[in-house]
């Protein structure tokens, strides 16, 4: 009976030690997997960066178009004002 009682305890204890060893000693990483991971993260960074730059470029194009439109409106207003001034000065 003494052997039967100690066998399950010993088996459980061995299992715990085995699990601790697995957790404390990580397996060495495969260099190709590490390279692939680094390459993927660089690719993701470049992809995100490219998307950010495209978004920024789109915003700048929009702003330029709006400013050109506003500038054209200012030119028209200045031309109209200049005509009014010339017409009013001719009346005197």
Q: What is the pLDDT of residue 42?
A: 84
pLDDT over threshold 80, residue 36: no
Return the closest-CA partner of residue 17 out of 5, 25, 7, 27: 25
pLDDT over threshold 90, residue 62: yes
In eight-state DSSP terms, residue 92 is -
Q: Taking the model in full, what pTM does it have?
A: 0.50
């Amino acid at each position: 009976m003494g052997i039967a009682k100690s066998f399950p305890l010993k088996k459980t204890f061995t299992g715990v030690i085995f699990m601790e060893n697995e957790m404390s000693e990580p397996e060495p990483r495969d260099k190709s997997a590490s390279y692939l991971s680094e390459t993927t993260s660089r690719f993701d960074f470049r992809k995100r960066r490219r998307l950010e730059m495209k978004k920024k470029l789109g915003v700048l194009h929009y702003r330029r178009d709006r400013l050109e439109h506003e500038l054209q409106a200012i030119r028209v207003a200045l031309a109209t004002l200049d005509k009014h001034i010339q017409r009013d000065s001719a009346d005197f």
